[in-house]
């Protein structure tokens, strides 16, 4: 049988893509507990976070990519954001001071999942 070489090579590169995709997913999950991105996004949506934030564009608040970049390499990043999301700190929105909202959960692991999700954007 005569298989055109273009078909062979495209099959091969798709295989390579698949493998690198898996490697990326593993790297993003980090060494501790696995990050659940779907759950993080769902909770952020439910908690109205997306009213003021987006992953990659600035709204009332910084984009999550911007926050991830700001805390990149900082050892206390996770703790800082955990405090930010559990203590309703004062922030300025349109020049007016208001309390930053928290996540609609009492579950610490769910909060930490959102924190890790933000930091890995």
Binding site for ligand HEC (CB under 6 A): 44, 47-49, 51-53, 60-62, 67, 70, 80-81, 84-85, 91, 93, 100-103, 114, 118
Q: Which residue, 12 or 46, has its beta carbon nearer to ligand HEC?
A: 46
Q: Which residue, 65 or 100, has its beta carbon nearer to ligand HEC?
A: 100
Q: Nearest distance from residue 43's CB to ligand HEC, in Å?
A: 8
Rounded to 5 degrees, what angle do the CA atoms 44, 40, 104 make? 45
CA distances from 88 to 56, 62, 77 (A): 23, 16, 17
Q: Nearest distance from residue 37's CB to ligand HEC, in Å?
A: 14
Written as six digits, the tokens of 11 are 């099959």
* 3-state secondary structure at position 16: helix
- The answer to whether 64 touches 118, Cβ cutoff 8 Å, is yes
Place of tokens 């926050």: 67
Q: Which residue, 19 or 99, has its beta carbon nearer to ligand HEC?
A: 99
Q: Which residue, 12 or 70, has its beta carbon nearer to ligand HEC?
A: 70
Q: Nearest distance from residue 52's CB to ligand HEC, in Å?
A: 3
């Amino acid at each position: 049988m005569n298989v055109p070489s273009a078909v062979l090579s495209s099959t091969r590169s798709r295989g390579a893509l698949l493998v690198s995709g898996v490697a990326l997913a593993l790297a993003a999950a980090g060494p501790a507990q696995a990050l659940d991105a779907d759950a993080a996004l769902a909770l952020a949506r439910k908690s109205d976070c997306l009213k003021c934030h987006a992953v990659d564009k600035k709204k009332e608040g910084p984009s999550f990519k911007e926050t991830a970049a700001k805390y990149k390499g900082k050892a206390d990043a996770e703790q800082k954001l955990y405090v930010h999301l559990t203590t309703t700190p004062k922030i300025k929105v349109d020049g007016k001071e208001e309390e930053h909202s928290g996540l609609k959960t009492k579950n610490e692991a769910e909060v930490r999942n959102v924190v890790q999700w933000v930091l890995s954007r």
